[in-house]
Structure 1
Amino acid sequence: MKTALRVTAFTLGLTAAFGLALGVGHAVGPGGKPAPAGHDGGHDSGHGTGHDGGHEEHAGHGAAAGQLPGGLQISERGYTLALDNAFVTAGASTDLRFRILGPDGRALTAYHPQHEKELHLIVAPRDLSTFQHLHPTRAADGTWSAPTALPAAGEYRVFADFLPAGETEGLTLGADLHAAGDLRPAPLPETGRSVTVDGYTVTLEGDLTPGAGGALTLSVSRDGHPVTDLQPYLGAYGHLVALRAGDLAYLHVHPESTTPGPAITFHATAPSAGTYRLFLDFKHGDTVRTAAFTLPTPTAAAPAATTPAPAPGATEHAAHQH
């Protein structure tokens, strides 16, 4: 998930060290209903969703002191994310192919599924203007492939979030992907606290306070009416990915909420002052949509334009691919 804070933990510039503690989400149980409180979404007890690369152990517990957040490294604990081709053309359809190499140097073929998938793949540009949560397929030889198209020229980050079979702690590895084309740098979009995507309005309440835990609540409405029948998507009523502007450190959490809307609540602790891009995936009417927010911490100013912008005509909100 679809498709890579984790905010507890949507892929982008990833190069600094910080720890993040976020709430462990609730999985969907039999019949498509959320699992009881305390269920970790199908992961082994004590190992959380693992989408921040540290795979928090319980709600409120993040990466160990001094541990890098997810996605900042292409190799970790002997595992390596190996892209078949790191150079593509913006706007053109491409088959993104890659392998996870194990400690023995061979392609990994055995995984422990997390939130209904063996591996979650996130692709995002370093300007955090778009977000794709892809669902690659794996061949018998361990090669993964996912059809996609990068909307604009620039530098992208690919995040692979997975748990190898036989391991108890998952990983989030990141690699750079280069898209050739007309590069047009621009600052992060200013979204405010309410965004609209496909006729749905999503409102954000709460703040990311460095070093202090707090709640982020995202409420979904349509035509002025609260949406109270959100559908489970990959085992939860919502998925939130947060990427820190400037280094694209990757965080991903699942909600504390156990009701199908309109509010979806996540517990988050910002590891540092800064500006974050939040990408909320939610499903309604059998379609997954992504709402994107730009959220500075209370003491942080918005960053200057240093990264590429989407091509002319590209929409401000995130692109979600299935």
Structure 2
Amino acid sequence: MNTALRIATYTAALAATFGAAYGVGSVVTPVSTDPESTAPPHTEHAGASDGGGEAPGSGHDVPAGGLQVSEGGYTLDLGTPRVPAARTTELRFVIRDSAGRQVTAFQREHDKELHLILASQDLTTYRHLHPTRAADGTWSTPANLPVAGGYRLFADFTPAAEGAKNLTLGADLAVAGDYRPAPLPAPSATATVDGYTVTLTGPLRPGTAGELNLRVSKAGRPVTDLDPYLGAYGHLVALRSGDLAYLHVHPNGEPGDGETEPGPDVSFTATAPSAGTYRLFLDFKHNGTVRTAAFTVTAATAPGSGNPEGAEPASSPGEGAADGGHGH
């Protein structure tokens, strides 16, 4: 093949190659460089707020709390990251500021400077504890976790520093022993604990505030004399299955406001951080004892799909009750 023929053949092949590339490029959707189409929507922290930071009906995910060990210049420093199962152990931790100093001043919220939540990764063990703080800022509390496995520890607090916001920081806790994960209990609108029955109605929806109502009864009779507990007639914590994203909500109304009755109904306004399955833990106090009722609820975008009103009751007594515990 002479030189002229070789050049002509190469030129034709080159043109065919670029033509094929152009054809592929016209079919494949190009990657957008528009910042509005690539950047995630801007949201504000709502980890421990009463329902989240998005406007009702916005359709945007509400940021979840407890997934970070550091946020807003504060860090949860867990001094006891490993403990044995089925043995009372002292948990110790501190909150550090951006300079690494131990924080010693906190705002009181619901009668406490800090609320400590412990939950197993399978969401079958739950503890709502109230540790004590030493003068140097070290928090401590005894805890007895019955089964081995991975746990998540949540510290819900507001520093006393001017302009500080409420934070929920989380850290992993390993409980040593023979680990046998349990399945997540099936969704149910009814939970029983120590002879009490708690019935849940109302939807839990992602990105939209909804009212959850919990009715407490015993032996078929409504309980109308609930005791105030931490400045309320009940406290509700929601944890997302899979990553234990945290949502701490508080009841609508409070004891002594002239409107809120001491049972049988305790209502909350809550917004799910996203669609998914959640475990809800209600702490309520009656006759001087705090008890925990637990529910599995699905939050979905389809209307009514996350409504616990359609859930079947628990098939056996205690199925909806958490392995809960409280420290005071």
- TM-fit CA distance, 1:54: 5.4
Q: Which residue of 2 aligns with 1:305?
A: none
Q: Aligned in 2, Cα 1:191/1:242: closer, same or farther, shift over 3 Å?
A: same
Per-residue displacement from partner, 1:75-118 (whole Å, max 9, x unpaired)? 01111101112011111110000000112211110111111111
Q: Which residue of 2 aligns with 1:238?
A: 234
Tell me how far apart the structure 2 counterparts of residues 204 and 252 of structure 1 sit (CA, whole Å).
17
- TM-fit CA distance, 1:186: 2.6
Q: Aligned in 2, Cα 1:82/1:168: closer, same or farther, shift over 3 Å?
A: closer
Q: What residue identity is the alignment partner of 1:139?
A: A
Q: Identify which range, 187-196 or 214-223, moves more after superposition.
A: 187-196
TM-score normalised per structure 2: 0.74
* Equivalences for residues 182-197 of structure 1 within 5 A: 182-190=178-186, 192-197=188-193
Is 1:114 aligned to 2:109, yes or no?
yes
Q: Give the unaligned 5+ runs of structure 2.
A: 1-39, 254-259, 307-318
- TM-fit CA distance, 1:59: 10
Among 309, 315, 325, the alignment partner of 1:320 is 325
Among 145, 156, 168, the alignment partner of 1:172 is 168
* Equivalences for residues 58-97 of structure 1 within 5 A: 68-97=63-92
Q: What residue identity is the alignment partner of 1:129?
A: T
Q: Aligned in 2, Cα 1:96/1:152: closer, same or farther, shift over 3 Å?
A: same
Q: Which residue of 2 aligns with 1:140?
A: 135
* Equivalences for residues 21-36 of structure 1 within 5 A: none
Higher helix share: 2
Per-residue displacement from partner, 1:208-232 (whole Å, max 9, x unpaired)? 1233332111000011100011111
- TM-fit CA distance, 1:206: 1.4
Greater relative contact order: 1 or 2 (C-alpha under 8 angstroms, separation 6 or more)?
1
Is 1:285 aligned to 2:287, yes or no?
yes
- TM-fit CA distance, 1:61: 7.3
Is 1:155 aligned to 2:160, yes or no?
no
Tell me how far apart the structure 1 counterparts of residues 292 and 72 of structure 2 sit (CA, whole Å).
32
Tell me how far apart the structure 1 counterparts of residues 41 and 237 of structure 2 sit (CA, whole Å).
16
- TM-fit CA distance, 1:58: 8.7
Q: Which residue of 2 aligns with 1:251?
A: 247
CA contact (8 A) 1:121 1:133 kept: yes
- TM-fit CA distance, 1:318: 3.0
Is 1:201 aligned to 2:189, yes or no?
no
Is 1:226 aligned to 2:227, yes or no?
no
Tell me how far apart the structure 2 counterparts of residues 20 and 128 of structure 1 sit (CA, whole Å).
27
- Larger radius of gyration between Structure 1 and Structure 2: 2
CA contact (8 A) 1:220 1:227 kept: yes
Tell me how far apart the structure 2 counterparts of residues 54 and 73 of structure 1 sit (CA, whole Å).
16
- TM-fit CA distance, 1:315: 9.4
Q: Aligned in 2, Cα 1:170/1:227: closer, same or farther, shift over 3 Å?
A: same
Among 210, 214, 217, the alignment partner of 2:213 is 217
Name segments (4+ residues, structure 1) moved above 3 Å: 17-21, 53-62, 65-68, 298-301
Number of residues of Structure 1 aligned to a counterpart in Structure 2? 265
CA contact (8 A) 1:157 1:177 kept: yes
Q: Which residue of 2 aligns with 1:35?
A: none
* Equivalences for residues 120-135 of structure 1 within 5 A: 120-135=115-130
Tell me how far apart the structure 2 counterparts of residues 218 and 85 of structure 1 sit (CA, whole Å).
35
CA contact (8 A) 1:20 1:270 kept: no
Q: CA RMSD in A?
A: 3.0
Q: Aligned in 2, Cα 1:60/1:264: closer, same or farther, shift over 3 Å?
A: farther
Q: What residue identity is the alignment partner of 2:322?
A: H
CA contact (8 A) 2:241 2:277 kept: yes
CA contact (8 A) 1:291 1:318 kept: no
Per-residue displacement from partner, 1:140-180 (whole Å, max 9, x unpaired)? 11100000011111110000011111234111100000011
Tell me how far apart the structure 2 counterparts of residues 19 and 201 of structure 1 sit (CA, whole Å).
41
Q: Aligned in 2, Cα 1:18/1:139: closer, same or farther, shift over 3 Å?
A: farther
Q: Give the unaligned 5+ runs of structure 1.
A: 1-16, 22-49, 302-313
